[in-house]
Amino acid sequence: MYFAIEGIDTAGKSTQINNISKHFPHAVITKEPGATEIGKEIREMVLSAKAKSKKAEFLLFLADRAEHIKEVIEPNIGKNMIISDRSAVSGVAYALIQGEISKKDLVELNNFATNSIYPQKVFLLRLSKEELQYRLSQKELDGIELRGSEYLLKIQDAIIEAAHLLGLELVTIDAGKSINEITQEILNNINTRDNI
Name the residue ranges covered by the structural domains of the chain. 2-194
Query: What would the 3-class secondary structure string for 22-90 be?
Result: HHCCCCEEEECCCCCHHHHHHHHHHHCCCCCCHHHHHHHHHHHHHHHHHHHHHHHCCCCCEEEECCHHH
Q: Which H or E run includes 170?
A: strand 170-174
The pTM of this model reads: 0.89
Tell me what pLDDT residue 195 has. Answer: 45
pLDDT digits (tens, 9 = 90+) for 3-42: 999 999 889 999 999 999 999 999 999 999 889 999 899 8
Query: What's the pLDDT band for 191 if we cut at 50, 70, 90?
Result: low
pLDDT digits (tens, 9 = 90+) for 111-160: 999 999 999 999 999 999 999 988 888 888 766 767 778 889 999 999 99
The CATH class of the 2-194 domain is alpha beta
Closest among 130, 129, 20 to 83, alpha carbons compared: 20
Cβ-based burial of 26 (10 A; exposed 0-12, middle 13-18, buried ≥19): exposed
